[in-house]
Amino acid sequence: MSRPNHPECGREAALQALHRVERDGAYLNLALPPLLKALPPPERALARELATGTIRRLNTLDWSVGLFLKHPLAKLTPWIRNLLRMGAYQLLYLERIPPHAAVDEAVRLARRYGHRGVAGLVNAVLRRLAKTPGKLPRPLPQGEPLEHLALSTSHPRWLVERWSRRFGPAEALLLGEANNLPPPLALRPNGLRCPSPAFLIERLLAEGVPAELSPRLPGAVLAKPGGPLSELASYREGLFTVQGESSLLVAPLLQPQPGEHIVDLCSAPGGKSTHLAELMGDRGRVTAVDRHPHRLALVERAAKRLGLTAVKTIAADGTRFDGSGLPPPHRILVDAPCSGLGVIRRLPELKWRRRPEDLQRLARLQLSLLERAATLLRPGGRLLYSVCTTEPEETTAVADTFEAAHPSLVPEPFPTPLLHGLERDPAEPGRLFLHPHRHRLDGFFIALWRKGDLLC
The beta-carbon contacts of 231-239 under 8 Å, at least 24 apart in sequence, are 232/204, 232/207, 233/207, 234/200, 234/203, 234/204, 234/207, 235/305, 236/305, 237/193, 238/190, 238/193, 238/305, 238/306, 238/307, 239/189, 239/190, 239/193, 239/194, 239/200, 239/203
Q: Distance between CA 63 and CA 380 in Å, rounded?
A: 56
The reply to whether 388 belongs to the active site is yes
Taking every pair of Cα atoms in the chain, the longest distance, rounded to a whole number of angstroms, is 75
| Four-residue CA torsion sign, 18, 229, 351, 92 | negative
3-state secondary structure of 414: coil
Q: Distance between CA 27 and CA 8 in Å, rounded?
A: 22
| Angle 19-25-26 from CA coordinates, rounded to 5° | 75
Q: Distance between CA 249 and CA 187 in Å, rounded?
A: 12
Q: Distance between CA 211 and CA 200 in Å, rounded?
A: 9
Given 194, 266, 338, 388, which residue is catalytic? 388
Q: Distance between CA 414 and CA 406 in Å, rounded?
A: 20
Burial class (CB in 10 A: 0-12, 13-18, 19+), 440: middle
Question: What is the Cα 2 distance to its own chain's centre?
Answer: 35
**Contact at 8 Å (CB) between 332 and 376?**
yes
Catalytic residues: 388
